């Protein structure tokens, strides 16, 4: 069984304060999504910054993620206008130990600096801990990406490793930072989520592209 099927399939919805998350479908792949991945500014701090993509790459990535037993790819949609503005990827890297890596992308610049990614990540982590029984999330970024560092620490994550001069950024060697967060640390940072269930794993009467009520 794929991880997507384990989570309820295409009907999965996770609601946040500012955005909601759902599995992506081929209908979500279009010019805007492709533009995100080929935009140097959007990908400045990522491993994609020197790469280029065509539409078939996105379809292949989506198919691979949705068929995977250890990856859950979710689109990030705004609560107010139901606009697809980015993605979050939950990747279980050690099933026995219950450890998952979390990564994300906000492709629409108009939504940068508005707490969108913190809302999306907190809901994905909450879902991972409560619905999937995971015991730890890890995440990372290059040291110059201070906004990502702040986001990780705001989720309760602790700095666990610094890989010295392990990446190239703007022609210079920079450190890679790795963070980790356990449930107790996460819920200390987000006590409002302790007793909430913000997801619907099975909505038979709702289409896969409808906004949650």
List the domain boundaries for the chain. 3-198
pLDDT in tens, 160-201: 999 999 999 999 999 999 999 999 999 999 999 998 898 987
Distance CA 106, CA 117 (A): 7
The pLDDT assigned to 203 comes to 33
Residue 97 confidence (pLDDT): 98
Is-above-0.85 flag for pTM?
yes
Whole-number pLDDT of residue 212? 45
Please check the confidence at residue 202 and state whether its pLDDT lies above 80. Answer: no
pLDDT at 210 over 60: no
pLDDT score for 51: 78
Q: Give the pLDDT of residue 46.
A: 82
What CATH number has the domain spanning 3-198? 3.40.630.30
pLDDT bin (cut points 50, 70, 90) of residue 4 is: very high
Span of 45-49, 155-159, 161-165 with lowest mean pLDDT: 45-49
The model's pLDDT over 59-104, given as tens digits with 9 standing for 90+, comes to 999 999 999 999 999 999 999 999 999 999 999 999 999 999 999 9
The reported pLDDT for the residue numbered 207 is 39
pLDDT band at 43 (very low <50, low <70, confident <90, very high): confident
d(CA 13, CA 213): 10
pLDDT at site 107: 92
- Give, in order, the Cα–Cα distances in Å from 62 to each of 28, 43, 113: 10, 19, 27
Distance CA 170, CA 44 (A): 9
Q: Mind giving me the DSSP string for 5-67?
A: HHTTGGG-EEE-SSEEEEE--GGG-SHHHHHHHT-TTTTTTSTTTT----HHHHHHHHHHHHT
Q: Output 45 or 120, whichever has higher pLDDT.
A: 120
Q: What is the pLDDT of residue 61?
A: 95
Q: Among candidates 66, 23, 15, which has minimal Cα distance to 200?
A: 15
Q: What are phi and psi of 140, to 5 degrees?
A: -155, 165
* 40-61: average pLDDT: 87
**Confidence bin at 34 (pLDDT 50/70/90):** very high
């Amino acid at each position: 069984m794929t991880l997507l099927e384990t989570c309820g399939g295409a009907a999965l919805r996770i609601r946040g304060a500012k955005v909601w998350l759902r599995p992506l479908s081929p209908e979500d792949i279009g010019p805007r999504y492709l533009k995100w991945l080929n935009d140097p500014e959007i990908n400045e701090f990522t491993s994609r910054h020197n790469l280029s993509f065509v539409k078939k790459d996105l379809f292949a990535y989506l198919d691979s993620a949705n068929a995977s037993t250890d990856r859950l790819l979710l689109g990030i949609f705004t609560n107010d206008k139901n606009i697809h503005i980015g993605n979050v990827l939950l990747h279980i890297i050690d099933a026995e130990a219950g450890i998952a890596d979390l990564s994300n992308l906000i492709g629409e610049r108009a939504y940068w600096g508005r707490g969108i990614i913190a809302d999306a990540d907190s809901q994905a982590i909450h879902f991972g801990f409560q619905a999937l029984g995971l015991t730890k999330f890890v995440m990372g970024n290059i040291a110059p990406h201070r906004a990502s560092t702040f986001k990780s620490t705001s989720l309760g994550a602790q700095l666990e490793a610094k890989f010295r001069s392990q990446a190239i950024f703007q022609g210079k060697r920079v450190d890679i930072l790795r963070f980790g967060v356990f449930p107790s640390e996460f819920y200390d940072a987000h006590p409002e989520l302790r007793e909430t269930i913000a997801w619907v794993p099975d909505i038979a009467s709702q289409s896969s592209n409808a906004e949650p009520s």
